Amino acid sequence: GNSVTQMEGPVTLSEEAFLTINCTYTATGYPSLFWYVQYPGEGLQLLLKATKADDKGSNKGFEATYRKETTSFHLEKGSVQVSDSAVYFCALSVMGGTYKYIFGTGTRLKVLA
């Protein structure tokens, strides 16, 4: 079956630190991969996505590369800010009839000034 595994949080970093949130997946077929972010009191927002192997998604300084050989889609940012504090969800979707998301458990990031 399809599943997403992401690292448990919370992750606490100092401002300007390097961020990595690990995400691995299992899927039948060729999934698209996503990172969503949820800021306090808001809905999930698409942060970035990649639709095929070796694609790199990037947005707001965050990036993730679709690695088929390691079935991974790790989220990285070179220098985090306090405003990046949020919950980050890794997700996949597999086309074919029903377009459904499979989410990871979410990782809470807290950035300290």
Partner 1 sequence: GAVVSQHPSWVICKSGTSVKIECRSLDFQATTMFWYRQFPKQSLMLMATSNEGSKATYEQGVEKDKFLINHASLTLSTLTVTSAHPEDSSFYICSAKTSTGPVKGYTFGSGTRLTVV
Closest separation in Å from C-beta 14 to partner 1: 25
Closest separation in Å from C-beta 16 to partner 1: 29
28 vs 98, which CB is nearer to partner 1? 98
55 vs 69, which CB is nearer to partner 1? 55
Closest separation in Å from C-beta 10 to partner 1: 12
Residues that bind partner 1 (CB under 8 A): 4, 8, 36, 38, 41-46, 89, 98-106
Question: For the CA atoms of the chain, what is the radius of gyration?
Answer: 14
18 SS3 class: coil
12 vs 105, which CB is nearer to partner 1? 105
Per-residue burial over 18-33, b = 16 or more CB atoms within 10 Å of its CB, e = otherwise: ebebbbbbebeeebbb
Residue 14's CB is within 10 A of a number of other CB atoms, namely 10
8 SS3 class: coil
State both tokens at 82: 């306090």
15 vs 52, which CB is nearer to partner 1? 52
Closest separation in Å from C-beta 54 to partner 1: 22
